[in-house]
Amino acid sequence: MDIENEQQIIEKAKVNPADFEPLYTTYYDRILRFIYKRMEDIEDSRDVTAMVFAKALGNICKYQHQGLPFSSWLYRIAINEVNLFYRRTKKARVISLDENGLKGIANETDGLSKEDLAALKRALLYLSEEELLIIELRFFEERPFSQVAQILDITENNAKVKTYRILDKLRKVFAQIA
């Protein structure tokens, strides 16, 4: 779905909630996968995904197009709902890391061998929740800085600066534990 078509659907949904269905259909699987990577429990993930879309539908009138896909707004809601879930349930937070994301970080940190990837996984445990979220969005979700910024409600430049500071921190931690 291109941004112009998406924007027309959003405007219709603001008037008639039944017109929200194409947005739901387009983004449901992506948001569910995004949430599942942070929870690793399919039932909890489905419940949280349902809350994301309920909140999106309930607040669609507040949505303002900022030149980025509607999905960026949904991801921001998803992050908030996942955080709320963990606060309410007191369950242990899950960090799911795939090999491609680790390789992306490795490429940004001067490349690493396969043996070093295990040490990189351990180094990620030294990151704060916010730092890890930025790394997840940038390298595991492969989001451009503009979308990372919108999802986290920060400027694009701030998203870049934070990302590179986190990568510097990872290099230092990695050097100590490798």
Please say whether the beta carbons of 166 and 127 come within 8 A. Answer: yes
What does the alpha-carbon distance between residue 68 and residue 36 come to, in Å, rounded to a whole number? 23
Alpha helix ranges (H) inside the chain = 3-15, 21-39, 42-58, 70-89, 99-108, 114-124, 129-135, 145-152, 156-177
pLDDT digits (tens, 9 = 90+) for 8-46: 999 999 999 999 999 999 999 999 988 998 887 899 999
CATH architecture of 99-177: Up-down Bundle (1.20)
- Within the chain, all domains assigned CATH 1.10.1740.10 are found at 3-89
In the block, tokens 């993930």 appear at: 45
- Within the chain, all domains assigned CATH 1.20.140.160 are found at 99-177
pLDDT digits (tens, 9 = 90+) for 101-148: 666 666 665 555 656 667 777 787 788 888 988 988 888 888 899 989
Record the pTM.
0.73
Domain spanning 3-89, CATH class: mainly alpha
**CB-side neighbour CA atoms (13 Å) of 154:** 14
